[in-house]
Structure 1
Amino acid sequence: MKIDKFIYFFSLAIAVFIVSCDSDFLDKQPDDMLTLDQVFKTRRYTEQYLANVYSYIPDEANGDRVNLTPASDEAKFSEQGVPGFQINIGNWGPTSSVPYGCWNSMYRGIRSASVFINRVDECEEITPDLRTRYKSEARFLRAYFYFLLLRQYGPLVLLPEVIPVDAEPAEIMLPRSTYDDCVRYIANELDEALQGLPDRVTDLNQLGRPDQLTALALKSRLLLYAASDMFNGNTEYAAFKNGDGTQLINQAYDVNKWQLAAEAAKAVIDRMPDGLLIKYDSEGELDPVNSYRDIYLDKWNKEVIWAYSAGKEGWEAQTWEYNGMLVQVNGYANYGVTQQQVDAFFMENGHRPILGYQADGEPIINPESGYIESGVHRDATEYTPAGVWNMYVGRDPRFYATVTFNGSEWLWHGTDGKSNYYAEFFATGKDGIQGGARGQNPTWTGYVIRKYSGPNSNRVNFTYLSSPSWILFRLGEMYLNYVEALNEYAPGHPDILKYLNLIRYRAGIPGYGEGTLAIPGSQEEMRALIRAERRVELVFESHRVFDTRRWKIAPETDGGAIYGMDRNAGTSLADPTFYKRTVVENRVFEFKHYLWPIEQDELDRNRLLVQNPGW
């Protein structure tokens, strides 16, 4: 099919021609200039070289090996060997394989992009206009790779445009640049890339290539992170310096960084006046569940800014789907949602059900929410069948599009419009550890991730979404970026309430200032509500693990007990022993875990490179 054809071609082309990207980023350039001369003489090999640059985009659709969801408080994956497990228990460091480590691979991508930028003009078989566009694509990709490094490692080594072939090792040992200098460099690269990128890619054969909107979206996320507590006047990093004494993270808080972040997000919003993806039912009423669900299932819908596909088909492309499917339909039920994340979803009246936790982990229930923690709900509702536990009734519609819970109807329907499958995560159930999942290692939490699963996908006959795209940037994030930055820079600005409520309206819950929901009376109250909305709206999209760090709340969210239901208890859907908040993992988060460690091999190779604090 045509969608994603460009990126699919690029991923296949990797095996055809990869040149000068196998050495470590600070090694000498290999003596293969004749080969490079030949590459940039022909259009075929020049475009294949650009394909190699694209190949360094991490495949975040790989739910347990690349995507960082299991390293956050959103989920607990059953397989103990996933990288997130090592992070969660604190069993990682610079002398072993760093979980989700990308220092080496991203610098290879950066170097590959730089070679392309500096040599593409040699290819006379490509028109000048197309060379300009290709160069801008490579410049955007280089900026993206630097950003991915920045969000994990903090201050970076900014490489020169060209590393001379005859350079001595001492000449290419470089210290880290300050965090602010890295942000300025990446932002400037994006501004330059904008000049050669198309306003918007609409050709089906070109989808997946960056355009101006993509560059603006990356700039929004970059500047939001830069304005956040972790990097904006964080005095806990006062001793984080290069060997020559250069302070790597500015110690003075600058509120104007929030203004820059707000302006960057608004620049994207203004270019997307059609707004969020919204769907309606047969009677013309808002369908909030399908509106939210189909952001990820309707390829290149109007909310998508940039998405990526590795070109895989079938089960290889469906890590999320088959690991989120019930055992009784041949799934693995491996991707477990934490109780903390379940608690984060609002009620249908727009209130938060849980306001916090007592010392023993018991929830502090919001009396205005109508939330009931225990007991069976006898009647069916719009989103729940009869007989489910009360805690799952009357929730934010996004909950039903995101989480499969005990007793919930599975997605597939028969010719009569009814499903033959209902989740049974209690111990002896069809998906339980002593029942249908006997001998397997299904969900530890009593929930699985429903988000990204398609209603027409069926593992029984091995049909899945065809070559799905992983969304890297979408408009919903830009709304939330904007309101967060605006609240820090100009609290009380009317756009904060406007765009926050647009997210809630699409979700099918009241906006603030409606019903029994008061408009937040202070900057602090609004900050808490914006963060709560972001946690629900962007769940499982690789934001949470960095949000808790940049907000400096990770010791509370990512350390200590992670809860679920008791998967070792229960003999029926109504058995209360299953619905007991149970510790499924005790996690470790120390100050050093805010930033990833740089592998020791890199430090040995470059003596000017200082390690991140605490490692």
Structure 2
Amino acid sequence: MKYIKRITVLTALASSMFMVSCQKDFLDVVPTDRVSDASILSDSVLFEAYVINRYMGTRLTDKEAEGTLPGFGRGFEYAMWSSLTDESIYNNDDNTWLIQRGQIAPENTGIAGSFWGRSYRSIREINYALANLDKVPVSEGKKRMLKGELQFIRAFRYHDLIRNYGGVVLLGDKVTEISNDLTSQDLFDRSDIKTSLDYAIAQLDEAAALLPESNDNNSWKLGRATKGAALALKSRLTLYAASALYNAGTWQAAAAAAKSVMDLNKYSLYTGGYGNLFTSNDNSEIIFGRLYAIGARHVCLEIANGPNSYNAWGGNVPLQNVVDDYEMMDGTKVTDAKTSYDPQNPYKNRDPRFYATILYNGATYRNSTIETYTPGGKDSKDGPSNWNTSKTGYYLRKFMNDNLPIDNPWDVAGTQTWIYFRYAEILLNFAEAQNEASGPDASVYAAINAVRQRVGVNMPVIPAGLTQAQMRERIRNERRIELAFEEHRFYDVRRWKIAAEKENVPAYGIEIGKNGTAYTYKQKEALSGKSFAEKQYWLPIPRTEIQASNNKLTQNQGY
């Protein structure tokens, strides 16, 4: 127990300084703010608590994880991952604009600099637990489950590393110590993408064989890994592997991985309303999520993202770019020659998911109406708290629970489950992979139409007779709409290798004028300088990590 040894040295020094003859090491006690490794390994309850805490990570950057520690991704944060894409911008910057403008660098990673350090710290902690699991006095059944959880979490950390940096350093089961030779090259050699993916996928196969199909008998039902969670992460990774950026797997394998989740017959699409899906803490669609509780302080989505007239901060504001990609209720696109879209009434008869995702001028919200027009609109620059006015003319609606307070929400709001995996993603994974493997067969239509038609008001099915290329575009747009703001877009446009096209389009918003009862709509640039360079298909490894390796760690190309 290293901290006890250090305290003993201090005790001896103090004794000699004060010539104390007493032999008792009165400072050789366990600090009250920590638990020794011996205690953890001898107590099954403490060890399980250690495992549960591996679902969280350490806070590494400013304004990250307000209160509770960060989990996977940026769910309950100020700036969300969508604000590094063509979905939204973060109204008050918070180190996002430099990434939108293509200025990210190893010395300045903005909000995208914590993946490397946090992931490897977590992997080291998991390796420690796996190395000592056999010492814990626990039943074989429980031991299997805990091992499966640890392998799942480790695979999730590698998944985050791979999708952000490409090939990564694979540590296996190695537990590094300060006393180790940390200049050893094998601690810094990066494997290629295929080897990295194969390792993480193999870990998930092992985890799936060990994990239960459900956690129905404990209070962490959705917050701890299950067989379905492991297979869902495998589905995502195999989809990435087959994609153009990775080119390290097959579409057949990706389709099979998604089908293995479908064949569990455990999950189904939620039919209680698309918007309610994200405020219902437990439903048939959620495969794995992060639970939040009253009293566990964290960023509350309602105050962080709500309109300025509601005393909220207008955080992650949607772009016109994504608004334009929502279909009409009849299935036409706003750019189609025979569209039903009316530019003088642009928010009428849109895909129902639009109304559950984006707050627009005229939208009903909390017993009032959103007013982003000028002059005089209460949610425009003419309204109260105008420093929080949306730069795009829109506010985020998705994830918000109207039953939770905006004013002074701390410790009483923000209780939604943040969803990491849900069944709709699996269906869309399957549709994409199967279309690429075999073309748009009946199973592809069935998967994508199921997602489209559960939204509360029936959307028309995808038209029959599409070519593979036409279906590809349909599926890509369906992912854009169905999974909007859920941390998929950033990775999707990269793995499809269309980021250079999509992310070099200006960040558009809307300017709405009002004259009497008539409105005018004018597109505007909400954030200047939006830019994407080829090197940005991968993030840079932070310069501090390169320096800590004595320059043995290889930086991504272009940085």
What range describes the TM-score normalised by the shorter chain of this pair?
0.7 to 0.9
> Are positions 1:443 and 2:390 aligned together?
yes
Q: Which residue of 1 aligns with 2:416?
A: 468
Q: Which residue of 2 aligns with 1:542?
A: 487
Task: From the superposition, tell whether residues 520 and 495 of structure 1 become closer, same or farther in structure 2 (CA, over 3 Å).
Answer: same
After TM superposition, the score normalised by the length of structure 2 is: 0.85
1:374-413 equivalences under 5 Å are: 374=344, 390-410=345-365, 412=366
**Deviation per residue, 1:499-555 (Å, 9 max, x gap):** 111111112344436xxxx32431110000000111000000000011011111111
> Are positions 1:64 and 2:78 aligned together?
yes
Matched residues, percent identical?
30
Q: Which residue of 1 aligns with 2:228?
A: 213
**Deviation per residue, 1:17-59 (Å, 9 max, x gap):** 999xxxxxxxxxxxxxx95344312224323322332222335
C-alpha RMSD over aligned residues: 2.4
| Matching residue's letter, 1:294 | N
Q: Which moved more, 1:97-106 or 1:400-409?
A: 97-106
1:493 to 409, 432, 441: 441
1:454 to 382, 398, 401: 401
| Matching residue's letter, 1:522 | T
| Matching residue's letter, 1:68 | W
> Are positions 1:39 and 2:40 aligned together?
yes
Task: From the superposition, tell whether residues 341 and 105 of structure 1 become closer, same or farther in structure 2 (CA, over 3 Å).
Answer: same
**In 1, Cα distance between equivalents of 2:548 and 2:306:** 45
Task: From the superposition, tell whether residues 63 and 427 of structure 1 become closer, same or farther in structure 2 (CA, over 3 Å).
Answer: farther
**In 2, Cα distance between equivalents of 1:314 and 1:120:** 29
Q: Which residue of 1 aligns with 2:262?
A: 269
Q: Which residue of 2 aligns with 1:99?
A: 111
> Are positions 1:524 and 2:494 aligned together?
no
Q: Which residue of 2 aligns with 1:145?
A: 157
**Deviation per residue, 1:487-509 (Å, 9 max, x gap):** 10010321001111111111234
2:454 to 506, 520, 525: 506
**Deviation per residue, 1:294-318 (Å, 9 max, x gap):** 1111112000000113546487341
Q: Which moved more, 1:535-544 or 1:585-594?
A: 585-594
Structure 1 stretches of 5 or more lacking a match?
1-16, 20-33, 233-249, 280-290, 354-364, 375-389, 413-418
8 Å CA contact 2:245, 2:494 repeated in 1: yes
Q: Which residue of 2 aligns with 1:296?
A: 278
Q: Which residue of 2 aligns with 1:230?
A: 245
8 Å CA contact 1:426, 1:572 repeated in 2: no
> Are positions 1:345 and 2:326 aligned together?
yes
**In 1, Cα distance between equivalents of 2:226 and 2:517:** 50
| Matching residue's letter, 1:399 | F
Q: Which moved more, 1:579-588 or 1:212-221?
A: 579-588
Task: From the superposition, tell whether residues 347 and 204 of structure 1 become closer, same or farther in structure 2 (CA, over 3 Å).
Answer: farther
**In 1, Cα distance between equivalents of 2:472 and 2:306:** 35
| Matching residue's letter, 2:526 | V
After TM superposition, the score normalised by the length of structure 1 is: 0.78
SS at match of 2:453: helix
SS at match of 1:533: helix
SS at match of 1:169: coil
8 Å CA contact 2:267, 2:286 repeated in 1: no
| Matching residue's letter, 1:400 | Y
**In 2, Cα distance between equivalents of 1:408 and 1:536:** 19
Structure 2 stretches of 5 or more lacking a match?
5-34, 58-70
SS at match of 1:316: coil
> Are positions 1:555 and 2:500 aligned together?
yes
Task: From the superposition, tell whether residues 323 and 605 of structure 1 become closer, same or farther in structure 2 (CA, over 3 Å).
Answer: closer
| Matching residue's letter, 2:259 | K
| Matching residue's letter, 1:110 | I
Shift of residue 460, structure 1, vs aligned partner: 4.9
Shift of residue 371, structure 1, vs aligned partner: 0.4
Task: From the superposition, tell whether residues 61 and 214 of structure 1 become closer, same or farther in structure 2 (CA, over 3 Å).
Answer: same
Shift of residue 427, structure 1, vs aligned partner: 4.6
2:121 to 108, 119, 122: 108
SS at match of 2:274: helix
Shift of residue 465, structure 1, vs aligned partner: 4.7
